[in-house]
Amino acid sequence: MNIWELDATQIAAGVRSGQFSAEEVAIDVLHRVEAVNPSLNAIVESSAERTIDAARAVDEALAAGAEPGVLAGVPLTIKVVADEAGWATTNGVRLQQKQIAAQDNPLVFHLKAAGGVSIGRTNTPAFSLRWFTSNRLYGTTRNPHNIALTPGGSSGGASAAVAAGLGAIAHGTDIAGSVRYPAYACGVHGLRPTPGRISYFNATAPARGIGQQFMSVSGPIARSVADLRLALGVMAQGDVRDPTWVPAPFEGPQVPRHAALCTHPAGLNTHPRIVRALEDAARRLRERGWQVTQVENVPPLREASVEHIYLWMGDGFDSRMAKALKEEDPGALATLRGQRELVANMDVARFSEALTRRLSMLREWQLFFDRYPVLLMPVSSELPFPDELDAKDEPSYRRVWEAQIPLIGTAFVGLPGVTVATGVEECVPVGVQVLAGRFREDLCLKAAADIEADGFKPRVVTPEFV
């Protein structure tokens, strides 16, 4: 087995034991990047010299008897939305090419301090606005399973990189499914934590708007649930630069192993293959001691999705549109124009109403999770979309947003969730979503691990179009 095929836990153990050095890991993965990335375009900025220097530092620490960190030598990628010293925090737009970071974002700092080795920076749609990954600065990222499908977005480069063996762990961000959906589309696992769990601060940019503060998070993408857990433990360390960080325990109180299964939330017409994946996941949970109860519906998702758009796009819509017009990115413009009628004239009263409804809906979710500690439901009601579907025409745009209600509505109330890859058939990945109450990532990961056990395990894929 090539080193680039190994999971993060395996690589860290191998480096610690002396099976191979961190430098050998880095060189092996860089060769994989050289062979695959030109066709994939997942990593858009990198420096082999910096990567090898970082790996050598891990080896030197080990040789000196120092603690190298739990990610000793693990190759990882950082999305271009997060500050990484010496790189531009572009967010996929030409307007920010000169926005060079002088210091690492807290999560980047923690990943590197734990011995992680940055391989490069991954692509995102312009302004990170879509579930598709293309922009005028870097171009289009391809899905390594199927060039006709979206790799997802906005963390499309991150998920494509993990799926193709360009690093064992990837950093992603999620405000409306941008970790969970690309993980789903690329056949890997992705974790959206509770807002406040992972410290975040970009010195290159002003503070995030109110809507983003409530809903936007960073999270890990990996090929195993164990790697998600490992990465979360590192990324979730506090930092004084982020006053919203919450020192919540990683393990919450014990609760009954009781999960709800909802195959058609919000009345969605869930694809039959997704329904089968959900039913199989429920079976696996039952086999491992879970009680699984099928429910017809869950707290309001459709209404939450509308309120989410008010907080996300309505907050500073005119400024956002002006930047998109200046960037001239067709995908970003299509996304904003598609919601303009809803949010362009939003006033303070409507914004306040959205915040009020958020609290009421979150209360409903807390009551739901008091009865069912875990929820199993679709990531999306459709299989991964044809690439660029949202920009095709108005009906296609609406189709995409309808299918993503399970992602948008849960982000609105700040729930943690894990996308669990459950299979790939005819080059089309499928997966399920596991959700729990606020700061109960531990429950999401426990259920995800039970679904993964003795079932589908993501393996590195070499794109046929390389």
- The residues carrying an active-site annotation are 79, 154, 178
**Structure token pair of residue 120:** 């490069």
Select from 102, 106, 103, 108 the least CA-distant residue to 122: 108
Q: What are phi and psi of 46, to 5 degrees?
A: -160, 165
328-353 as b/e, with b when 16 or more CB fall inside 10 Å? ebebbbbbbebbeeebeebeeeebee
**What is the sign, positive or negative, of the torsion defined by CA atoms of 283, 287, 288, 294?**
positive
What is the spatial distance between Cα 74 and Cα 21, in angstroms, rounded to a whole number? 11
Are 157 and 81 in contact by the 8 Å Cβ rule? The answer is: no
Q: Are 147 and 465 in contact (CB under 8 A)?
A: yes
- Contact between residue 377 and residue 262 where contact means Cβ atoms under 8 Å apart: yes
Six-digit token string for 463: 């794109």
59's tokens: 């080896």
| Token output for 75 | 């190759």
Answer for the pair 163, 149: CB distance below 8 angstroms, yes or no.
Answer: no
CB distance 174 to 139 below 8 Å: no
Measured over the CA atoms of residue 41, residue 46, residue 47 and residue 53, the dihedral's sign is negative
